[in-house]
Amino acid sequence: MPKHDARVEAYGTVDELNSILGIAIADCDQDDVGKLLRAQQPELLALGAVLADGKATGIPKANDALLASMEKQMDAVDAKLPELKNFILPGGTKLAAHLHHARTVCRRAERCVSRIRAEQPKLAQRIMPGLVYLNRLSDWLFVLARYANLKAGVADVLWNPENAE
């Protein structure tokens, strides 16, 4: 398979995302956040395996129960966060910055998997759980980044378009 193949791009991006989560975990001094992040790493590895081999024997782990758990986690964390009335800039604490970085790479991975779905319809059904998972994971990472800032007592960096040059 050529290195420019859409599947190589997709599983490489998922691997990059997993590595960024590893960096976030290494820099994490918040046990609850670290535990949540560590739980996602095997899911990303399983997704990478499915993307690397459309005939992978392992069943993709991304499923309704996982997605429901992530939604529940987001709801619980979001209830603790101040209402968001502005766009925010990636940053705050180092951990939050890593999580925002992970979120943007997750969105790229989602675009890569979406491309496979469009270009290789025979794989569409097999990769659809991963596509849905990546979509929810990026939102989950956004909420977790805000939570990491809140726990550290650091405000989100609000974007003010009037002050932008």
Angle between helices 6-26 and 94-119 (to 10 degrees): 160
Set out the domains of the chain in order of their start, with CATH numbers: 6-158 (1.20.1200.10)
pLDDT in tens, 87-131: 999 999 999 999 999 999 999 999 999 999 999 888 888 888 899
- Name which of 38, 33, 41, 110 is nearest 76 in CA terms: 33
Q: Please write the tens of the pLDDT for every residue from 9-23.
A: 999 999 999 999 999
CA distance 30 to 133: 24
Whole-prediction pTM: 0.91
Q: Is the pLDDT of residue 164 over 70?
A: no
pLDDT for 165: 57
